[in-house]
Amino acid sequence: MNAALFLTIPALLILGFTLLQWLIAIVNYVFRVDYSHYTSRQKELVSVIIPARNEEANIGNLLHDLSGQTYKNMEIIVANDDSSDCTAGIAGSYKGVKVIDAGLKNEGWLGKNHACYTGAKQAKGKYMLFLDADVRLGSNALASAIGYFEQSGVVFMSVFPRQLMTGKGVYQVVPLMNYILLSLLVIPLVKATSFVSLSAANGQFMLFDRELYTALEPHKRFRSEKVEDIHISRYYKRHGYCIACLTGNDDIACTMYSTYEQAMEGFSKNIFAFFGNSVVAALLFWFITLTGILWMLALPWYAPAVYVLAVLSTRWMISRISRQNAEINLRMHYTQLWTMGRLMFRSLHQQRNKSYQWKGRTIY
């Protein structure tokens, strides 16, 4: 009897957690915001700031996309972060693009945060939009995002772009970001509540009211943080400001990584940030999601069926929200979960040895 309880109680808790993930995914699926029909009524100047370090393969594509926007009232600032390739030259060849030297000169800063801060100092627009250089934009991307920003009453807005992935290796890693986010966080509550814990942001696309940004200086405050976007979202909510986090549409896309090793290197620096930097919570999530089906064997016959249906429908809904290939994510579900564990242990190893490298720099 005791042995049966020893297995049954954890199994019930795991089933309950899985159903909670399912419910969160349903809410995120049903109440996702389609902001594509919004349009800006004011046509205020927008300062587009692109922190760039060795982005010669990407910067031209983004600048081309910006030149084709239906929203025309913008200035473009490329904050060149000590690039050793042709990033600055390519950016400078585009008419109207301002290229500034944002090389890291101050101790205690991370390069991207310093580049964002330096670019913001040059901005003149009412709004500031920070874009990663590997983002791609449809022609209506700025008009709809700024329209939503103006009409929703927020002062900070972030979008999780549709992730462009090629190759099995990248698909093992990148979908984990949206799986974790959209099965643990009720996205509509980021805007609807003042709870700091209900915060999220993605540094690939962040839109700010410039006046408030200048007063708060979030990139300066979190100058040494590897996942400054999440810290900034919590910082704004802590000060009582209304923010929004959206899951994006087909107008905003990003190729985060082109190889498995790049994806592993990139995600190992922020995997624990998805769990509030709690190693215990992260490892527990990984253990539960990886081994959950085995625990169901301790319950009546229908429990494994309920569990499998909940997991499959959760992954399907999250894939649809994220505009990812649901069939691939379902087929690779356990491969991705195994990769999540590898990411966590790799991150722990790098933290212990202070060996994390990104674009030629030691982060910690």
Structural domain boundaries in the chain? 2-31+268-353, 46-263
- Per-residue pLDDT tens digits of the chain, which is 364 residues long: 566 777 899 999 999 999 999 999 999 999 999 999 999 887 899 999 999 999 999 999 999 999 999 999 999 999 998 899 999 999 999 999 999 998 777 778 888 999 999 999 999 999 999 999 999 999 999 999 999 999 999 999 999 999 999 889 999 999 999 999 999 999 999 999 999 999 999 999 999 999 999 999 999 999 988 889 999 999 999 999 999 999 978 999 999 999 999 999 989 988 999 998 899 999 999 999 999 999 999 999 999 999 999 999 999 999 999 999 999 999 999 999 999 999 999 999 988 877 666 666 666 5
Instruction: Report which of 171, 198, 180 is spatially closest to residue 257, judged by C-alpha positions.
Output: 171
Rg, the chain, Cα only: 21
Measured distance CA(215)–CA(211) in Å, rounded: 6
Measured distance CA(279)–CA(193) in Å, rounded: 26
Measured distance CA(246)–CA(159) in Å, rounded: 5
Domain 46-263: homologous superfamily in CATH: Spore Coat Polysaccharide Biosynthesis Protein SpsA; Chain A (3.90.550.10)
Angle at which helices 260-267 and 333-353 cross, to 10°: 60
Measured distance CA(128)–CA(159) in Å, rounded: 14
Beta strands at 97-101 and 74-80: parallel, antiparallel or unpaired: parallel
Instruction: Report which of 181, 179, 186, 185 is spatially closest to residue 328, judged by C-alpha positions.
Output: 179
